[in-house]
Amino acid sequence: WGCARRDPEVIDCLSSLRDSISAVVPLLSKVPFLLTQKFGHPRWYRSNYSSKVRYYVSAVVPETHRQFLSSGIALETPGDDCRLMQWKHGLPRKEIDALWSVVGFMANSNLSPAAKDFKQMIRLISSMVHYNRGILPKVTNRLPPSKKQLDICSKEINWIRILLNLKCPHNQTNGEMDKFVLRLVEKAVTLQSHDINLEEMC
């Protein structure tokens, strides 16, 4: 995902590009859709242009990218080649952290309006939270949580709160969003009760 490198110049360039795109494209509607259904699986490629970098990893097929630049037509990514679909519920924790970086970066644009359709974002966040390596997985072993899990849970719930407050279209009724928030609260309360039981046992 390229989140390891935090070069200020690179971030400035990407921020400028993000803001320009967000002026014409609703990023918080489009980005989750692209991540969950279109973004391909990373593969190794050999560079034909750089003598310093002989091989590199990309989720974009170079030939497909060249065709897009010349024609303006984006080729479809096969559904079975989608990065997140291949992991299914076993999405690694590093991938979840990287996804949060992408979501936070896109949501941080001052030009990005509230998304007209927040369903894709809710589905993406739900996957990040409730998958096996998420803070509140669907399947739990009922053991008391670790302090690290509690800290990360508190942090991510706060991120969700900020995202919903700033970017969610509050004038729309969304049953899927209501279910997500209710489930999030129920899971968080259960996690807190396990932590209280642990403290009482100690």
- Strands, E, within the chain: which ranges? 43-46, 55-58
Count the Cβ atoms, other than its own, within 10 Å of residue 2. 11
Q: How buried is residue 157: exposed, middle or buried, by Cβ count under 10 Å (0-12/13-18/19+)?
A: middle
- In the chain, the percentage of residues whose pLDDT exceeds 90 is 1
**In the predicted structure, residue 4 carries a pLDDT above the cut 50:** no
Q: How far apart are CA 181 and CA 176, in angstroms?
A: 9
Q: Taking the model in full, what pTM does it have?
A: 0.75
**In the predicted structure, residue 165 carries a pLDDT above the cut 50:** yes
- In the chain, the percentage of residues whose pLDDT exceeds 70 is 75
> What is the pLDDT averaged over residues 187-194?
74
pLDDT one-digit tens code per residue, 98-143: 889 888 888 887 665 555 667 888 888 888 898 888 888 877 655 5
Q: How far apart are CA 134 and CA 125, in angstroms?
A: 10
* 3-state SS, residue 40: strand
> What is the pLDDT averaged over residues 56-64?
80
> What is the pLDDT averaged over residues 56-68?
81
Closest of 161, 157, 153, 154 to residue 133, by C-alpha: 153
* pLDDT score of 64: 81
